[in-house]
């Protein structure tokens, strides 16, 4: 059993794994031993025991999420959706899994659908991922031709039809209820909760939405057991995680490592430390909507609770590195421009507040800020940063790098305002 | 917007377009749910969604043209204006910014003599900003048509656009 289950078919192999290679390496064994042979409730208990937590960013326990799906009654559809809308800035992990080993996701979806008695599945994938879209479709066709997808899978009573839905854009589609509206052909505006999708999701039917990496893990938990999965993690949480680093590090990349790997080990050993001539100033641990951490936090283990205790979130686990040649105010202005553009526009604090924040940041970065502007930013970060003041988590997520940036890089804001200019000369 | 009554979808859309849209509808519980798929299908043949296309699609999927326009204008990969032969989707998100992606983009704008949202005089390229392309370990990155280009610098950008 590999200690890198998610990337064992990817590491050291140049091509992408087709059905023949996937099966020769043990693929679909979990489906063959489970479908029609194991009680779905037993699979659910296994997932709960493994304590797999959602890899899309929120870290919600997957087994618990699934347990909210009501018992199957009647013949109405029940849906499983893979959230493959990877659009969190600085995140580049699901693309790797889908391009290089598409059957791993499909096997995880078959097992997950079996567990929650879903008969139809969608892979909701962003439109720019052309290679992944083609390989997933090819893999679905091959699996269907081999009786692994479609009606009466492996001659059992279980049927599961899987479709690829190619999105037409917008970051907000990654929010699971906005994603469901988009799948229904509507504007991607998040829905009010409750009701939760598990009860009333896609077209009003029970629906589970999980991140690609989460679903890929299901295959290996079913194949190798909960104890094996738990033993992979170094701390409280089990399993491995795809961690990454981008920015001015020596070797930017994405690596499958034990959950709980210290940040220092990821940055120094795997990313090779900072690029020559650059120093670490701070970093976002898991995408644009996570709080800044600083070199003081390098010994924090990368798992959900420990990163939370350090004042941030592990998020997607792909770190964005701020170096000493780059302007913290400029970086935060870039982030808030993104969040302002990607607001769905439904609720006022987000639609109006984020452009206001962006305008103030641009003013400070251009050397036209005033000290009172910092108070405006702080007030906004508290007001639209509070869950409950906005319709969904978009604006609160947007305020995480701003509030933490004001805390850790306050001197840079003041230098911009007092010096009436950005002190950083971009190296061109 | 042109008159819906004149835009009978069977006259406006090709048989191929209608067949592909109906194929999507076949696995959906109702016709309007195919809105985004239908827009993407027609755009794949025509490059963009004209008012005529919009009205014909709306008629075909039992949706009002106004509601469909609300959907079409929400999504950044649906084009309601003509675009060039290839759309450049240039990542302006944070990892690319940290690797001087904005500096490289200025070079592209100079070379093509266009700003974001504009099309070159020879109709070859339209330049649009896009959210993180998931290629951050090779930042800065952009899509040119369906192709991903990365590790962009002001020195190598010419070869990516030739």
Task: State pLDDT tens for residues B147-156.
Answer: 999 999 999 9
Task: Give the per-residue pLDDT at B10.
Answer: 72
CA closest to B89 among chain A residues: A128
Q: How confident is the model at residue B7 (pLDDT cuts 50, 70, 90)?
A: low
Determine whether the interchain pair A90/B132 forms a contact, defined as Cβ–Cβ distance below 8 Å: yes
Whether residue A85 lies within 8 A of chain B, CB to CB, comes out as no
Range of weakest confidence among A306-315, B1-10, B35-44: B1-10
Task: Give the per-residue pLDDT at A427.
Answer: 55
Which residues does chain B have within 8 Å of residue A95's beta carbon, measured at their own beta carbons?
Answer: 134-135
- In angstroms, the separation between the Cα of residue B112 and the nearest Cα of chain A is 19
Determine whether the interchain pair A128/B136 forms a contact, defined as Cβ–Cβ distance below 8 Å: no
Strand partners, B126: B87, B119
Asked whether residue B5 carries a pLDDT value surpassing 60, the answer given is no
- In angstroms, the separation between the Cα of residue B11 and the nearest Cα of chain A is 24
Task: Give the per-residue pLDDT at A248.
Answer: 98
- In angstroms, the separation between the Cα of residue B79 and the nearest Cα of chain A is 10
Task: Give the per-residue pLDDT at B3.
Answer: 46
CA closest to B154 among chain A residues: A428
d(CA A293, CA A103): 36
Whether residue B68 lies within 8 A of chain A, CB to CB, comes out as no
- In angstroms, the separation between the Cα of residue B107 and the nearest Cα of chain A is 11
Task: Give the per-residue pLDDT at A72.
Answer: 86
Determine whether the interchain pair B35/A185 forms a contact, defined as Cβ–Cβ distance below 8 Å: yes
Asked whether residue B4 carries a pLDDT value surpassing 60, the answer given is no
Whether residue A170 lies within 8 A of chain B, CB to CB, comes out as yes
Give the residue from B30, B76, B79, B95 with the most A CB atoms within 10 Å of its CB, the best one to mutate: B95
Whether residue B83 lies within 8 A of chain A, CB to CB, comes out as no
* pLDDT under 50: residue ranges of chain A: none
Asked whether residue B103 carries a pLDDT value surpassing 80, the answer given is yes
Task: Give the per-residue pLDDT at B27.
Answer: 87
Nearest to B40 among A120, A166, A318 (CB): A166
Give the sheet arrangement for strand A240-247, strand by strand. Answer: A253-258, A240-247, A318-323, A280-284
Condensed to tens digits (0 to 9), the pLDDT of residues A377-414 reads 999 999 999 989 999 999 999 999 999 999 999 999 99
Determine whether the interchain pair B36/A426 forms a contact, defined as Cβ–Cβ distance below 8 Å: no
Which residues does chain B have within 8 Å of residue A326's beta carbon, measured at their own beta carbons?
Answer: 98
Determine whether the interchain pair A187/B74 forms a contact, defined as Cβ–Cβ distance below 8 Å: yes
The alpha helices in chain B, defined as continuous H runs, are 9-12, 15-25, 35-46, 51-60, 65-74, 94-98, 101-112, 157-160
Please check whether residue A88 is in contact with residue A289, taking contact to mean a CB–CB distance below 8 angstroms: yes
Whether residue A165 lies within 8 A of chain B, CB to CB, comes out as yes
Task: Give the per-residue pLDDT at B2.
Answer: 46
Task: Give the per-residue pLDDT at B1.
Answer: 47
**pTM, whole model, 2 decimals?**
0.96
- Taking residues B94-103, report their average pLDDT: 97
Whether residue B35 lies within 8 A of chain A, CB to CB, comes out as yes
Whether residue B31 lies within 8 A of chain A, CB to CB, comes out as no
Give the residue from B98, B101, B110 with the most A CB atoms within 10 Å of its CB, the best one to mutate: B98
d(CA A118, CA A159): 8
d(CA A61, CA A239): 13
Which residues does chain A have within 8 Å of residue B34's beta carbon, measured at their own beta carbons?
Answer: 185
């Amino acid at each position: 059993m590999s200690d890198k289950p998610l990337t064992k078919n990817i590491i050291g192999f140049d091509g992408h794994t087709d059905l023949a290679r996937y099966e020769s390496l043990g693929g679909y064994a979990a489906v063959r031993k489970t479908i029609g042979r194991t009680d779905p409730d037993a699979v659910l208990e296994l997932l709960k025991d493994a304590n797999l937590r959602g890899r899309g960013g929120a870290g919600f326990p997957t087994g618990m999420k699934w347990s909210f799906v009501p018992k199957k009654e009647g013949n109405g559809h029940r849906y499983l959706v893979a959230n493959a809308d990877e659009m969190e800035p600085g995140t580049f992990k699901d693309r790797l899994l889908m391009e290089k080993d598409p059957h791993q996701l499909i096997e995880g979806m078959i097992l997950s659908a079996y567990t929650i008695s879903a008969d139809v599945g969608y892979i909701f994938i962003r439109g720019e991922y052309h290679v992944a879209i083609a390989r997933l479709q090819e893999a679905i066709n091959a699996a269907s031709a081999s009786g692994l997808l479609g009606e009466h899978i492996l001659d059992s009573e279980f049927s599961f039809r899987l479709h690829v839905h190619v999105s037409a854009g917008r970051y907000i589609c990654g929010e699971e209820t906005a994603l469901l509206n988009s799948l229904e052909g509507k504007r991607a505006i998040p829905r009010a909760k409750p009701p939760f999708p598990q009860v009333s999701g896609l077209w009003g039917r029970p629906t589970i939405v999980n991140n690609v990496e989460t679903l890929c893990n299901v295959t290996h938990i079913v194949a190798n057991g909960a104890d094996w999965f738990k033993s992979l993690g170094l701390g409280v949480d089990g399993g491995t995680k795809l961690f990454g680093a981008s920015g001015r590090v020596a070797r930017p990349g994405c690596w499958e490592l034990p959950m709980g790997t210290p940040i220092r080990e990821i940055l120094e050993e795997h990313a090779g430390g900072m690029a020559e001539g650059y120093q670490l100033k701070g970093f976002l641990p898991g995408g644009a909507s996570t709080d800044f951490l600083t070199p003081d936090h390098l010994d924090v283990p990368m798992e959900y609770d420990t990163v939370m205790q350090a004042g941030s979130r592990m998020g997607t686990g792909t770190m964005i590195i701020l170096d000493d040649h780059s302007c913290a105010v400029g970086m935060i202005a870039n982030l808030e421009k993104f969040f302002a553009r990607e607001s769905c526009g439904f609720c006022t604090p987000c639609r109006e507040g984020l452009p206001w924040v962006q305008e103030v940041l641009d003013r400070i970065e251009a050397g036209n800020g005033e000290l009172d502007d910092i108070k405006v930013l702080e007030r906004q970060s508290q007001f639209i940063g509070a869950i409950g003041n906005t319709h969904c988590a978009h604006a609160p997520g947007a305020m995480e790098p701003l509030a933490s940036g004001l805390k850790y890089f306050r001197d840079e804001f003041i230098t911009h305002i007092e010096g009436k200019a950005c002190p950083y000369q971009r190296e061109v | 917007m042109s008159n819906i009554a004149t835009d009978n979808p069977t006259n406006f859309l090709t048989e191929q377009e209608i067949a592909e849209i109906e194929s999507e509808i076949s696995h959906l519980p109702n016709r309007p749910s195919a809105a985004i798929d239908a827009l993407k299908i027609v755009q794949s043949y025509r490059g963009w969604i004209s008012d005529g296309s919009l009205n014909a699609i709306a008629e075909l999927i039992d949706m009002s043209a106004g509601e469909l326009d609300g959907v079409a204008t929400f999504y950044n990969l649906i084009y309601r204006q003509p675009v060039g032969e290839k759309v450049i989707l240039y990542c302006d998100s944070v990892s690319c910014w940290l690797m001087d992606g904005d500096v490289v983009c200025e070079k592209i704008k100079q070379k093509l003599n266009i700003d974001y949202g504009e099309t070159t005089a020879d109709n070859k390229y339209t330049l649009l900003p896009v959210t993180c392309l998931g290629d951050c370990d090779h930042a800065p990155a952009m899509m040119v048509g369906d192709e991903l280009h990365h590790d962009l610098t002001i020195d190598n950008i010419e070869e990516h656009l030739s």
